[in-house]
């Protein structure tokens, strides 16, 4: 098996039509709950990095303005079709690199990163960019799977990393060291259910600038 980076997987190019079929429904119910619990206020500016086919899009309230960015044209064209078919005027998508965002500092009230931390080649840089474009006091919301801290399970999932990279995601990112490498001020870390493989991380860009993660 050729060694590739997760974001180079065919899942995000020629197999993009399969993405919605396989992951769309499973991912949507999780994202719907997270977005609902955020209670996004009217007029809020929202950025979703690595928005892909727009799995989360139906969950955003129409009173906020949402920009989805992604590097993969095949994923974005599916997102664009959903926007058009549903007549969503509060949503737009742009082709852009999450590691090098083309927005000025302090632009968005919310920056979302759903199922993308383990896909981009440099997730620490992605979070730095998310923080840069987030307004002081704004929210950074991450939903992702992280490698288990249970030694046996953790080692087993890490051993699967070459295979999952080929499929389109990494399985070697552990939550605590990852967050500590970023300068994200973490307010809450939780799971939607006890058995869930996915973790929700709510971070905030504070008014005094960034500071190191609090105890996770
Ligand atoms: C697993 S999908 C998640 C899509 C969507 N957020 C969801 O929850 O269904 C990961 C997405 O990240 C995108 N991606 C990978 N590297 C990226 C980068 N550097 N900049 C922007 N998007 C990127 C991929 O093209 C893909 O659409």
How does pLDDT run across 140-185, given as a tens digit for each residue?
Answer: 999 999 998 878 888 888 888 888 888 788 888 899 999 988 878 8
Output the residue whose Cα is nearest ligand 1's atom 14.
50
Task: Tell me the pairing of strands 134-145 and 185-190.
Answer: unpaired
pLDDT score of 122 more than 90: yes
**Ligand 1 contacts CB of residue 20 (under 6 A):** no
134-145: strand order across its sheet: 91-95, 65-70, 45-49, 108-114, 134-145, 198-204, 185-190
Q: Catalogue all structural domains in the chain, each as residue range(s) with its CATH number.
A: 6-204 (3.40.50.150)
Which range among 56-70, 179-193, 202-216 shows the weakest confidence by mean pLDDT?
202-216
Residue nearest to atom 13 of ligand 1 (CA): 50
Distance 212 CA to ligand 1 centre (A): 26
Ligand 1 mean position to 51 CA, how many Å? 6
Residue whose tokens read 């801290």: 149
**pLDDT tens track for 48-75:** 999 999 999 999 999 999 999 999 999 9
Confidence of residue 2 (pLDDT cuts 50, 70, 90): low
Tell how far CA 30 is from the center of its chain: 12
Element (H or E) spanning 77, and its range? helix 73-86
């Amino acid at each position: 098996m050729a060694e590739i980076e997760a974001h180079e997987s065919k899942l995000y190019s020629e197999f993009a039509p399969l993405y919605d079929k396989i992951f769309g429904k499973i991912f949507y119910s999780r994202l719907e709950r997270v977005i609902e619990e955020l209670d996004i206020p009217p007029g809020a500016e929202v950025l979703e990095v690595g928005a892909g086919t727009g799995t989360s899009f139906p969950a955003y309230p129409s009173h906020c303005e949402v920009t989805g960015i992604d590097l993969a044209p095949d994923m974005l064209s599916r997102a664009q079709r959903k926007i058009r078919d549903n007549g969503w005027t509060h949503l737009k998508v742009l082709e852009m690199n999450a590691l090098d965002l083309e927005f000025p500092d302090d632009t968005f009230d919310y920056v979302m990163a759903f199922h993308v931390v383990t896909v981009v080649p440099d997730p620490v840089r992605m979070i730095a960019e998310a923080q840069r474009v987030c307004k002081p006091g704004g929210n950074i919301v991450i939903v992702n799977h992280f490698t288990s801290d249970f030694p046996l399970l953790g080692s087993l999932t890490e051993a699967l990393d070459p295979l999952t990279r080929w499929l389109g995601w990494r399985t070697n990112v552990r939550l605590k060291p990852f967050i500590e490498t970023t300068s994200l001020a973490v307010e809450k870390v939780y799971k939607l259910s006890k058995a869930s493989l996915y973790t929700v991380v709510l971070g905030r860009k504070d008014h005094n600038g960034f500071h190191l993660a609090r105890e996770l």
